[in-house]
Amino acid sequence: MLISLSEIMNTKDKVEQVLAPIEMEKFIFEGSSYEFAWKDPVSLTITNLGNKVVLIEGFVKLSIIIFCSRCLKKLEYPMDISIKKEIDFKLTDEERAKELDEANYINEYNLDVDILIKDEIIVGLPMSLLCSDECMGICMHCGTNLNESSCDCDNTVLDPRMSAILDIFNNFKEV
């Protein structure tokens, strides 16, 4: 959803409350697509601080479907996202980039709520998520979920630094 900031920019000390729906159906990041289990509308408060500076504050609750890092079981990951951004419209895009304020959610005087929320989800995503602390994952040979059943695969993991010694033993093995 695009929110025009033009009217807010024209009136000093103007405060506007907006309840904006999240229009994106899926969240795509680094080649993976995540679906939303549920998403509330974003509650935004936009304040003109004067001198072409706008304060954007907001809050949203949502939940995305993510997979366990070991066994690939579907999990629901709830997120409470708080937003507080101060946008200085006197700065150019290059000056904002120098200050590490990559405001890609601002296009001229329009606020793109979906991009703002997407950026906040990226920051809040865990590096890895497990279905339980005892998750055993999947077998690297046959793909069996080891939480549900066992397999007869040889899961001996050899130290790759010792492969040269293993080759010596295999080459000079007595029959």
pLDDT digits (tens, 9 = 90+) for 78-129: 999 999 988 888 877 677 666 656 567 887 888 899 999 998 998 898 888 8
Element (H, E) at 153: none
Q: Pinpoint the alpha helices (H) of 12-147.
A: 93-98, 113-124
Among 80, 77, 96, which residue's Cα sits nearest to residue 88?
96
CA distance 23 to 60: 13
Residue entry with tokens 């504050």: 57
Query: What pLDDT score was predicted for residue 8?
Result: 83
CA distance 168 to 160: 14
pLDDT category of residue 174 using cuts at 50, 70 and 90:
low
Please tell me which residue, 29 or 166, carries the higher pLDDT value. 29
